[in-house]
Chains A and B, each alone.
Chain A
């Protein structure tokens, strides 16, 4: 099975100061559904950031989608990110764009034709149950609705890897279930590798997942 993420003795820190992740070794196969848990401030989000090149490894090896993130050029980083779908805890929607355009963003970046972008956006808005709100701006929606838009955006360009950072934190049950369903669906139906950072794993999760835990900078697999 192809490995989509390989980390060997990976150490991460901000500005070379306190070590957040220390000599972590893990590998994630294509098609895996991975959940990373840990206490607040344990470095879950930091580890995820390193996967999409927002944080350069301090030492060790980190290869994502065949791209070595230690010595990565901007061009290669952009290339990698075009194949990743990211869901952020704070949504990161562009406020001055409609939510339809927000969802179309990864497709625009990947050079999809306009009509295909629109068709895909309509389909995804159906999945997140926001079809009748497509002309609205992010700030006109609730937090749960904004996260559903962010989820739709992460899936828009059919990425090979989906990274989700606390995608259901502070969301109502309805939005949380919808997002977990979509993540599971992307994994089972579209064969995407999914890595979710969360502090609570839902009891209803219906997919076989691998579970990593971060403790004191150490990453270890539980199941």
Chain B
């Protein structure tokens, strides 16, 4: 039994639930003789991967669904051996180069070269190129991105790249200008609700529309999360009632808890307790930038405008430092300490005004 997310994933471009106009364009693109490199970007859970798989199916037929996993080995110039997992079919190969950290450049150059140098033997009725899918391009090092640009031009005859990114802010312009960029906006809450209805109908369940709307709101316009939440709801209680509790992701609750701890008392002792909480979040694999924005969002709730500005500006500073440094905990803690200082001063001043 598979999750609903996988079970009800659309397999055909024309069967997508939203952005239908874009799907039509993609279909047109496939039918043209020439297929450019693609750069697909959008927030997570917007359906980037679904669209790409549909596109591949359109290009090569159902053969792309026979997937196999392989581990590939590369050697860096400094003679370090690195391993990376790839998922591939006869027609495409998918890899996540950021898995190997700063050695991503080697992976990109060797992998693309490998793929590009093997021609399709039987090219009759087939496309004469293979597709390489690279995930999380925006997290690649600058070095790797620069290596990509020449590779893209050099092997254009035998392979096409499909790059996936969350945002193109961090993709260098040279790559952007070589690709056809496709923006995939997150679905609106109404679109999510309607997808939930469709899925529940297929499962033979009865979903009240208020609950669907509530799930859609909670999901933060992330369709994958919405579907998972919906399934969790079903496990919790079925038949659905419209005032049923929607389980929030527990890390969100945890961040909220941490924030209220910070607001309750500002002292070095409390800071120590907060540190424990932050460590726990990091150990459980919650990305530090999510922790940062979650904290900011919760902390500024009962501040006045001037203070909000101050806090936001400090948050931006510390977050930036966190990117440059490599120990996230230092910067998270620095931010918390800074906030405590500002908040305490503010409270004392306002109390002073009263007396």
* Chains A and B bind each other: no
